Amino acid sequence: MRIGLAADNGNWHKARLKAALEHLGAEPVLFSLADVAIETGGREPLRVPGFPDALPDGVLLRTVAGGTFEATTMRLGVLHALVASGTTVWNSPASIERSVDKAMTSLLIDRAGLPTPDTFVCSKREAAAAIVAREAGPGRPLVLKPLFGSQGEGLQLIETPDDLPGEDAVSRVYYLQRYVARSDGLWRDYRVFVCEGRAIAGMIREGDGWITNVHRGGRPLPWAMPAAAAERAEAAAAAVGVDYTGVDLVEDGQGGFLVLEVNSMPAWSGLQKVTEVDIALAVARGFLAAVRAARPPRLVSALG
């Protein structure tokens, strides 16, 4: 199979996925979405580095190259064009668009009937201030999150309307979510890795502060994942439509779990330290099975 591995950074993850694909008999070609071009007037206008004669049978995404809104739009357009040609793409561009947008993720989670902390999204500071005045207060904050943020970057606790930054600082979108504190005072939440609809591994994330992301100094700890957590994470992944994902959960204080986030391009180096499951191999195996099950790609512009 002719497989593209789209990765721009994260050498550890890139190497693990490449080795797993090769172990399973595939020949992955590393490339960056930033290097894909469109040239009309020939057979196939989409030009993917490393695939001069035909499109890949499948593309496994580790990262989408960063950049401006215009650059990101083009790269997602490339992924949509690959899907339209019959190429299997994990995760699909549609699921990336749903999960990278925290507001849409929250909407889909809620529509699916899954418990999640109360969430409020608006565009104007005046509206956000009214929400904070109604829903927050000293000792019961809301969490302000960047709509497109990841790895715990840019999070703020908001207790009063005066704590809110200006509209330009949040790109004119206020995403506010109720902070759920643990009764034991620990800063702890949970990450569940879901692949092909099944929870395959999980960990406790514990921090010295309220932000527990491993990227920000949180500690990964082994976790005997209960069935309720696995089922909740699997349902969240299904609601957003991702093929593989990291689902963040927090305890609800009543023996259950709330869904915090569903990540379309999850890191797992911390999780791999505390689980015996080979996560890269599981992702590669599921992806290649999906490629085999799909019809062969076709060159759209060559039809007729």
pLDDT at 304: 42
Residue 36 has pLDDT above 60, yes or no: yes
Shortest CA distance to 91 belongs to which of 273, 266, 280?
Answer: 266
Answer whether 173's CB lies under 8 Å from 195's CB: no
pLDDT digits (tens, 9 = 90+) for 259-285: 999 998 899 999 999 999 999 999 999
Domain 2-91+287-302 adopts which CATH fold?
Rossmann fold (3.40.50)
Domain map of the chain by residue range?
2-91+287-302, 119-178, 185-264
Whole-number Å distance between alpha carbons of 205 and 12: 20
Same fold, 2-91+287-302 and 119-178: no
Q: What mean pLDDT do residues 125-133 have? A: 96
Encoded tokens for 248: 């963040």
Q: Which helix (H) or strand (E) holds 177?
A: strand 174-178
87 phi/psi in degrees, rounded to 5:
-75, 135
Residue type present at position 229 = A
pLDDT digits (tens, 9 = 90+) for 217-263: 778 999 999 999 999 999 999 999 999 999 999 998 888 999 999 99
185-264: CATH number: 3.30.470.20
Residue 303 has pLDDT above 50, yes or no: no
119-178: CATH number: 3.30.1490
What pTM value is reported for the model?
0.90
pLDDT digits (tens, 9 = 90+) for 130-151: 999 999 988 899 999 987 766 5
Higher local confidence (pLDDT), 112 or 295: 112
Residue type present at position 295 = R
The greatest distance separating any two alpha carbons of the chain, rounded to the nearest whole angstrom, comes to 67
